[in-house]
Amino acid sequence: MTDADKKLRDSQMILGLEEEVAPATLPDEGLDLRVAPRKEPQTPGEWIKDNLFSGPVNSIITIALTLFILWFGSKVLHYVFASADWTILKVNFRSYMTGRWPLEELWRVWLGTYAIALLAGLSRGISVIPFVFSRRRLVVLGLVAAAALLVELYVVTTLFTHALVAGLILTIVLGIYLGRRFRDVIPRRAVLIAWIAAYPALILLLRVGGPNERLWSGFMVNLIVATLAIFASFPIGVLLALGRRSTMPAIRYFCVGVIEIIRGAPLYTLLIFGVFVLPLMLPPQISKPPNIVLAVIMITAFSAVYVAEIVRGGLQGIPEGQYEAARALGLPYRKMIRLVILPQALRATIPAMISHFISLFKDTSLLATIAILELLRQARRASAALGFAGRSMEALLPAALLFWIVAFSMARWSQRLEKRLGVGER
Amino acid sequence: MATAVTATKPPPWRDVRVLRVAGQILFLLIVLVVVRELWLNLEFNLRRIGVELGFGFLDRRAGFGITEGIEYSPNDTYREALFVGFVNTLRIAIPGIVAATLIGLFVGVGRLSPNWLLRKLSLVYVEILRNTPVLMVIVILFVGVILPLPPIGGGFSIPNTLYLSNRGMALTTVRPTGGFLPWILFLALAFAAAAFVWRWRTRVNERTGEPHHRVLYAVPAFLAVAVIGAALTGPLRLDVAGLGERGFNYEGGFNLTAQYAAVFLGLVLYTSAFIAEIIRGSIQAVSKGQKEAAEALGLTPFQQLRFVVLPQAMRVAIPPLNSQYLNLTKNSTLGVIIGYADLANVAKTAINQSGGASYQIVLILVGTFLVLSLTISFFMNLLNRAVTRKGAAR
């Protein structure tokens, strides 16, 4: 890859243009493309002709779609601002987020959120990737912020909660500031370790002295179960992947069997197994664990085999020469894997891993089928309340939007990361 | 001499070959001990709560109703109940795969359209569906689209032909009669006749160069034999749809419940978004020169897509498509959230009803889905081989 290419890629990243960039916008210094005739910049009229009315078929499509968008858009706007009654969201917002978590223990959740916000701000602050304020990005950010503010003002009712939300934003800003300020003092590794340590700390904060697992509910559960499962399944998945490529038949067949059986079964079946069969496999003196614990175990198992397949893909991408070189250096198996093979293999799997994580996060909605009060189930419960007959959509859509926002932003972030890492290019 | 040999041969506890074998034996022993422990616990616990261990429960009376699918009554056995569930799973999976592929193909091509509006709209479609949990999609479609349809009695209907309401759909259809089996023979004959005519036209075309019109000749040939056969055997009868006596349900015809519609639509829309991305990716993987060459040959845009780009894109697309088909099949279990009686839902009811025949039913479930997955993969592999061979021959 030439420098010019790199520059082009950076500029695309900065502009937030994930898609095709017309050759006309290429920087022309040192590029072979110079020989191509340069396009004159298009006038809006030309753009419309090229992109919307380039032929009879195209024109028909454009007109039909415009009509459709106008019709559908007006329906949506009418629904959102006129016919829908969002009281159900206002009344239930806390139960969407934390469900049956007792009010007097809510400080644990807030404290955890603040800690994560500070860490997130810090990591952004010490990161060397500059934040570029392109116009398009500013517009999008402004719109999102305005919408978020509108929702916050509608949903949050007490002054104290308003203050907490404002404090959360300030904490992120503080984190960014601190990170910038002490960029050279804080080692990046320390932040990484803090992230890894934050997770068990958060669970301890919520659990020790706090409400028991049966009261855990709401969106909180989706987030916790998804992260817990991905963290727990990662080492298991790596071991399974290595086992699948082992030269020892007993280990290889065992791993292949485990991976294929779990991968062939739908997650819902695994959850049924977890709820109905797994407790019976425990020694009789142990009482039945709460459903959420069983669910985490099964989702971890489910996730581990997918992680294993992703890691296997990464391992297969490592040329044989790397193994040979490591052996030639006299590295024993464990050192070879840890120092030479895994670092390269795992780097190549980052995008696939993130998209697996996104789908795992979405799959946490399946907990609703085994009577865990996660977001989807909370939304359905809310709409079953007597006062809100016929308001189910108002209960469901915000929940869907919440899932969507998290999944979509992760997907976007992963696309950027993928470009920055240049996976498949090095 | 002998001393030199013993010096280079390490003692057994440091000999790699010995260690490998010992390590594997140890590993297997550990696995065995753990599995045995789990099994003993299971056996003990099941005995304690008084549940039989074998599969004898399959022949007992199930005692619960299933509102969906092939004929079944609560007096039938567990075996039959599970089979009804299995058929319901297939009823979602097979048409679902076809429909999701068609929509996905359409949207995926739309993502690459020269029309800016279509491109962006396809992108919005994909991004909305891809980032929402499929369970949420199913619930929203059920609550927001299917249930608000007018109730039975009202709603859209063509008397004795088609009824649509929030109770589902009823459509007048044809059913096989006793004459159906002999008719299959006629169908085979019709197929043979059509193949013969097809060959004949191909030869005519090769010999004389006049247009072959193979389809124009072969289809009537097929129809002629098939219709004559039908007249002789009477293989089908009309099954007229209509309202039940008290107007609370549909009777006769081909019935789809509201639950089926929601699960089917939800899975199809959700999966089609992923398929669209696969299609887009694999079309983009076809090198640009191919399309330019096709254009230079004077093919129309449709011909370029149909004869040059798609056949090559297929090769890239088949493995990821396979995994989407498997996902769709596995996700059909999510109908449980709105009470669609698929295999997993029936299995869950059966576990509760049978008083705890849990591990047996879970084994049946996992086994069935393994077989389903392997079957789909088998067909996709066949397709894959066909596509790649075609490419290699050219």
Binned at pLDDT 50, 70 and 90, residue A244 comes out as: very high
At residue B172, the pLDDT reads: 78
Look at residue A333 and tell me whether its pLDDT is greater than 50: yes
Look over chain A and give the mean of its residue pLDDT values, rounded to a whole number: 85
Nearest to B362 among A54, A277, A380 (CB): A277
Nearest to A61 among B115, B358, B366 (CB): B115
Which residues of chain A neighbour B366 with C-beta distances below 8 Å?
Answer: 261, 264-265, 269, 273
Nearest to A404 among B45, B132, B135 (CB): B132
* Candidates 3.40.50.10330, 1.10.3720.10, 3.10.690.10, 3.20.20.70; CATH matching A217-421: 1.10.3720.10
Q: In this predicted model, what pLDDT tens digit does every residue of B158-176 receive, in sequence order?
A: 777 778 787 777 777 777 7
From the list B380, B269, B261, the residue with the least C-alpha distance to B326 is B380
Nearest to A376 among B20, B136, B373 (CB): B136
Which residues of chain B neighbour A267 with C-beta distances below 8 Å?
Answer: 330
Q: In this predicted model, what pLDDT tens digit does every residue of B351-368 receive, in sequence order?
A: 888 877 788 899 999 999
B333 vs B342: CA distance, rounded Å: 6
Contact B366 A265 (CB under 8 A): yes
Residue B367 DSSP symbol: H
What 3-state class would DSSP assign to A331? coil
Look over chain B and give the mean of its residue pLDDT values, rounded to a whole number: 86
| Best residue in B24, B38, B124, B136 for a mutation probing chain A (most A CBs within 10 Å) | B136
Selection from A159-173, A192-206, A376-390 with the highest mean pLDDT: A159-173
- Residues with Cβ within 8 Å of residue B193, at least 6 apart in sequence: B221, B222, B224, B225
CB A54 within 8 A of CB B105: no
Which residues of chain A neighbour B280 with C-beta distances below 8 Å?
Answer: none
Contact A411 B24 (CB under 8 A): no
Q: How much of chain B exceeds pLDDT 70, in percent?
A: 95
B101 vs B269: CA distance, rounded Å: 10
At residue B1, the pLDDT reads: 45
At residue A308, the pLDDT reads: 94
Q: How much of chain A exceeds pLDDT 70, in percent?
A: 89
| Best residue in A268, A401, A406 for a mutation probing chain B (most B CBs within 10 Å) | A268
- CA distances to A140, B7, B84, B360 from B61, in Å: 61, 73, 14, 16
CA A418 to chain centre: 14
Contact A403 B131 (CB under 8 A): yes
At residue A117, the pLDDT reads: 92
From the list B368, B160, B359, B366, the residue with the least C-alpha distance to B252 is B160
Q: How much of chain A exceeds pLDDT 90, in percent?
A: 41
Contact A272 B42 (CB under 8 A): no
Contact B24 A363 (CB under 8 A): no
Q: In this predicted model, what pLDDT tens digit does every residue of A261-314 receive, in sequence order?
A: 999 899 999 999 999 999 989 888 888 888 999 999 999 999 999 999 999 989
Mean pLDDT calculated for residue range A145-172:
91
Judged by average pLDDT, the poorest of A255-259, B52-56, B86-90 is B52-56
Domain boundaries, chain A: 3-39, 102-210, 217-421
From the list A422, A425, A417, A373, the residue with the least C-alpha distance to A399 is A373
Question: Is the pLDDT higher at A2 or at A173?
Answer: A173
Element (H, E) at A364: none
Q: In this predicted model, what pLDDT tens digit does every residue of B15-56 receive, in sequence order?
A: 888 888 999 999 999 999 999 999 999 989 888 888 878 888
- To the nearest whole Å, the CA of B82 is away from the closest chain A CA by 14
Look at residue B198 and tell me whether its pLDDT is greater than 70: yes
Mean pLDDT calculated for residue range A95-100:
88
CB B119 within 8 A of CB B112: yes
Q: In this predicted model, what pLDDT tens digit does every residue of A47-75 receive, in sequence order?
A: 888 888 888 888 899 999 999 999 999 99
What 3-state class would DSSP assign to A134? coil
Give the other-Cβ count within 10 Å of B285's Cβ.
Answer: 12
- Chain B residue closest to A66 (CA)? B117
Contact A52 B128 (CB under 8 A): no
- To the nearest whole Å, the CA of A184 is away from the closest chain B CA by 38
From the list B261, B248, B237, B240, the residue with the least C-alpha distance to B68 is B261
- To the nearest whole Å, the CA of A250 is away from the closest chain B CA by 6
Which residues of chain B neighbour A404 with C-beta distances below 8 Å?
Answer: 128, 131-132
Contact B133 A280 (CB under 8 A): no
Nearest to B118 among A65, A408, A411 (CB): A65
Could you report the predicted ipTM of this complex, rounded to two decimals? 0.84
A22 vs A25: CA distance, rounded Å: 6
Q: In this predicted model, what pLDDT tens digit does every residue of B101-154 receive, in sequence order?
A: 999 999 999 998 888 999 999 999 999 999 999 999 999 999 988 888 887 777
Mean pLDDT calculated for residue range A326-340:
91
Look at residue B390 and tell me whether its pLDDT is greater than 70: no
A320 vs A341: CA distance, rounded Å: 10
Contact A284 B41 (CB under 8 A): yes
Look at residue B219 and tell me whether its pLDDT is greater than 50: yes
- CA distances to A238, B23, B43, B390 from B37, in Å: 26, 21, 10, 53
Question: Max CA-CA distance within chain B?
Answer: 102
CB hemisphere CA count around A177 (13 angstroms): 6
Nearest to B117 among A65, A248, A281 (CB): A65
At residue B52, the pLDDT reads: 78
What beta strand segments (E) does A192-345 contain? none
Binned at pLDDT 50, 70 and 90, residue B384 comes out as: confident
Tokens representing residue B127 in the block: 């991004």
Look at residue B241 and tell me whether its pLDDT is greater than 80: no
| Best residue in A277, A287, A413 for a mutation probing chain B (most B CBs within 10 Å) | A277
Look at residue A25 and tell me whether its pLDDT is greater than 50: no
Which residues of chain A neighbour B23 with C-beta distances below 8 Å?
Answer: 248
Look at residue A12 and tell me whether its pLDDT is greater than 60: no
- Residues with Cβ within 8 Å of residue A260, at least 6 apart in sequence: B370
- CA angle A197-A201-A207, nearest 5°? 155
- To the nearest whole Å, the CA of A207 is away from the closest chain B CA by 28
AA identity, residue B72: Y
Report, in angstroms and rounded to the nearest whole number, the Rg of chain B calculated over CA atoms.
29
B268 vs B300: CA distance, rounded Å: 31
Nearest to B38 among A52, A266, A281 (CB): A281
At residue B177, the pLDDT reads: 79
User: Which residues make beta-bridge pairs with B246?
Assistant: none
Give the other-Cβ count within 10 Å of A226's Cβ.
Answer: 22
Question: Is the pLDDT higher at B211 or at A321?
Answer: A321
At residue A33, the pLDDT reads: 52
Contact A403 B136 (CB under 8 A): yes
Mean pLDDT calculated for residue range B1-22:
73
Look at residue B372 and tell me whether its pLDDT is greater than 60: yes
Binned at pLDDT 50, 70 and 90, residue B6 comes out as: low
- CA angle B13-B18-B24, nearest 5°? 110
Homologous superfamily of the B78-128+257-393 domain (CATH): MetI-like (1.10.3720.10)
| Best residue in B24, B117, B138, B361 for a mutation probing chain A (most A CBs within 10 Å) | B117
B273 vs B100: CA distance, rounded Å: 8
Contact A284 B117 (CB under 8 A): no
Binned at pLDDT 50, 70 and 90, residue A36 comes out as: low
Q: 């996104």: which residue's tokens?
A: A358
Q: In this predicted model, what pLDDT tens digit does every residue of A202-237 receive, in sequence order?
A: 888 888 887 888 888 899 999 999 988 988 999 999
Contact A368 B337 (CB under 8 A): yes
Nearest to B344 among A269, A376, A411 (CB): A269
